[in-house]
Amino acid sequence: MREMSVHQFRSRLKAAVEGVLHGHEPLRVTRRGGGDFVVVGAEDWERERETLYVLENRSLMRQIARSVETHQAGTGRRASAEELDAIDRL
């Protein structure tokens, strides 16, 4: 994660925000007295929230683990050619 002081952030606001949005890398802004903060693009924040939701959802994580097990064992459901074509069109 990139880091800059709050003074640098203020003086380079436009470039700092552009870097966060286009580089998809959060920016930590430090303050002398503490209370640092992080600047994250809205799209990236939503993606992180979705990831945290999945990781915190025990039921969903169990489903994923079972899917991995059946896939590795070769016993999982196989998609038809039509289903795979439909996925490719998304």
pTM: 0.67
- The rounded distance, in Å, linking the Cα atoms of 7 and 15 is 14
Digit-by-digit pLDDT tens for the chain (90 residues) are 999 999 999 999 999 999 999 999 999 999 999 999 999 999 999 999 999 999 999 999 999 999 999 999 989 888 899 999 998 987
Q: Domains of the chain by range and CATH?
A: 2-40 (3.40.1620.10), 41-75 (no CATH)
Give the DSSP per-residue string, 55-71: HH-HHHHHHHHHHHHHH
